[in-house]
């Protein structure tokens, strides 16, 4: 069975090269071609000896995703539809910021968490992505833009629950951060979870990246109805994991709160949220629900959203209303998976 080189870290690549009878510096050359020059074939690795390239052809492979379609939103957001080797489809999103891009990537084909407001969840889980399939999303998107260094932020907020595919996500993050990988700062990588408490605890011990928690409710009753995972890991356990999550100076946990008309958007909900998050270094992203015909829910009025935000700000919370990006091409929060999973 051929080995997927993008799924290896530095030490594993060096060990593989040694097993083939080559010096460690050949592994570093291979990784430079993969993660710096973003090549898609071994023939492009021109500073490698022919016998090593022959071995690479025979015993290794470079993961490639087939880009089936690219759509561009009115606001400049781009959505990429990728076909995997087994014909499953995943989506990634490139979001333009003021002077850089944020790349939103997927960690699974579909999702098993069944959050009621999320279109991806309606499709169910097909399988986990490999670490190479995860990082290849970033590499493909980098190839598609003129200035590759403008991708400054990576967010695990696409299809799937990252902590349910922990090992592959961890390996992908290592290659995102390593200086012989894509060399991104740990401060530029954010993982969003629906609340898998053991995974949050492990992430805090093993990976020093930013954490975002999809909260969406101020109490267990509402969260149970919106997010079935809360029945396994209720708010008390989730928030304890957040309180003990290691943060450096100036760092905060992001709590994502999807505002849904008549369900979690009332004044009392804002007051309860203030009490719930007391003592946690946090910021709150308020996200008016991005509607879709497959989800029988609606966003609140703009007036309701702004009132909810104001109540949080008056209690000294950082609360930001996150504008939907790419909703016209179903690329916004909760809308991925509109194509191909059926």
Please indicate, yes or no, if residue 339 is contained in any of the structural domains. no
Residue-level pLDDT at 294: 75
Specify the CATH number for the domain of residue 80: 3.20.20.70
* Segment among 21-35, 113-127, 154-168, 227-241 with least mean pLDDT: 113-127
Task: Check whether residue 157 and residue 238 sit in a common domain.
Answer: yes
Q: Is the dihedral of CA 95, 145, 81, 182 positive or negative?
A: negative
333 catalytic per annotation: yes
The answer for residues whose C-beta is within 8 angstroms of residue 316's C-beta and 6 or more apart is: none
Are 285 and 257 contacting, i.e. CB atoms less than 8 angstroms apart?
yes
Task: Check whether residue 197 and residue 129 sit in a common domain.
Answer: yes
Catalytic residue among 103, 194, 242, 333: 333
d(CA 4, CA 168): 13
Task: Check whether residue 147 and residue 175 sit in a common domain.
Answer: yes
Q: Is the pLDDT of residue 119 over 50?
A: yes
- Most confident segment among 111-125, 268-282, 327-341: 268-282
Task: Check whether residue 182 and residue 203 sit in a common domain.
Answer: yes
Give the burial string for 154-180 (b: 16+ CB within 10 Å, else e): bbbbbbbbbbbbbebbbbbbbbbbeeb
Left (φ > 0), alpha (ψ -120 to 50) or beta: where does 38 sit?
left
Dump strand ranges (E) for 249-321.
Answer: 253-259, 282-288, 318-321
Please indicate, yes or no, if residue 336 is contained in any of the structural domains. no
Please indicate, yes or no, if residue 334 is contained in any of the structural domains. no
Q: Is the pLDDT of residue 208 over 90?
A: no
pLDDT band at 342 (very low <50, low <70, confident <90, very high): very low
115 catalytic per annotation: no
Task: Check whether residue 126 and residue 255 sit in a common domain.
Answer: yes
pLDDT band at 52 (very low <50, low <70, confident <90, very high): very high
For the chain, helix (H) and strand (E) counts, in that order, are 11, 14
Task: Check whether residue 157 and residue 251 sit in a common domain.
Answer: yes
Q: Between 125 and 336, where is the model more confident?
A: 125
Catalytic residue among 14, 91, 161, 256: 91
Q: Is the pLDDT of residue 202 over 50?
A: yes
Task: Check whether residue 138 and residue 210 sit in a common domain.
Answer: yes
| β-bridge partners, 285 | 256, 320
Task: Check whether residue 143 and residue 20 sit in a common domain.
Answer: no
Q: Which domain holds residue 57?
A: 3-61
Task: Check whether residue 222 and residue 310 sit in a common domain.
Answer: yes
Listed residues 33, 61, 89: the one ending a domain? 61
pLDDT band at 332 (very low <50, low <70, confident <90, very high): low
Please indicate, yes or no, if residue 31 is contained in any of the structural domains. yes
Task: Check whether residue 74 and residue 41 sit in a common domain.
Answer: no
132-149: pLDDT as tens digits: 999 999 999 999 998 878
Task: Check whether residue 19 and residue 109 sit in a common domain.
Answer: no
Q: What is the mean pLDDT of residues 292-302?
A: 88
Specify the CATH number for the domain of residue 7: 1.10.150.530
Count structural domains, the chain. 2
Please indicate, yes or no, if residue 137 is contained in any of the structural domains. yes
Of the candidates 261, 277, 279, which has an alpha carbon nearest to the alpha carbon of residue 311? Answer: 277
Please indicate, yes or no, if residue 22 is contained in any of the structural domains. yes
Are 258 and 216 contacting, i.e. CB atoms less than 8 angstroms apart?
yes
The model carries a pTM of 0.94
């Amino acid at each position: 069975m051929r080995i997927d080189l993008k799924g290896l870290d530095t030490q594993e690549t060096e060990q593989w090269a040694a097993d083939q009878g080559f010096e460690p510096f050949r592994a570093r050359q291979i990784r430079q071609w993969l993660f710096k020059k973003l090549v898609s074939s071994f023939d492009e690795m021109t500073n490698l000896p022919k016998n090593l390239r022959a071995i690479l052809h025979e015993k290794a492979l470079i993961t490639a995703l087939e880009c089936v379609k690219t759509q561009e939103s009115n606001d400049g957001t781009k959505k990429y539809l990728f076909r995997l080797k087994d014909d499953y489809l995943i989506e990634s999103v490139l979001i333009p910021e003021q002077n850089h891009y944020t790349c939103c990537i997927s960690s699974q084909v579909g999702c098993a968490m069944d959050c009621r407001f999320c279109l991806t969840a309606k499709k169910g889980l097909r399988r986990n992505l490999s670490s190479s399939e995860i990082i290849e999303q970033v590499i493909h998107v980098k190839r598609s833009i003129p200035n590759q260094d403008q991708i400054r932020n990576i967010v695990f907020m696409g299809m799937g629950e990252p902590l349910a595919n922990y090992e592959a996500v961890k390996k992908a993050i290592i290659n995102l951060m390593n200086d012989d990988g894509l060399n991104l700062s740990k401060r530029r990588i954010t993982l969003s979870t629906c609340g898998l408490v053991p995974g949050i605890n492990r992430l805090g011990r093993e990976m020093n990246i930013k954490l975002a928690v999809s909260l969406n409710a101020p109490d267990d009753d509402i969260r149970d109805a919106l997010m079935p995972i809360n029945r396994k890991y209720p708010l008390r356990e989730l928030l304890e994991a957040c309180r003990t999550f290691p943060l450096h100076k100036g760092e905060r946990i992001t709590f994502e709160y999807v505002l849904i008309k008549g369900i979690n958007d009332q004044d009392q909900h804002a007051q309860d949220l203030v009490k719930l998050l007391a003592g946690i270094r946090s910021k709150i992203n308020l996200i008016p629900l991005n509607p879709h015909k497959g989800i029988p829910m609606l966003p609140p009025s703009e007036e309701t959203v702004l009132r909810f935000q104001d109540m949080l700000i008056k209690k000294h919370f950082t609360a930001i209303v996150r504008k939907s990006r790419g909703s016209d091409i179903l690329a916004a929060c909760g809308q991925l998976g509109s194509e191909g999973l059926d």
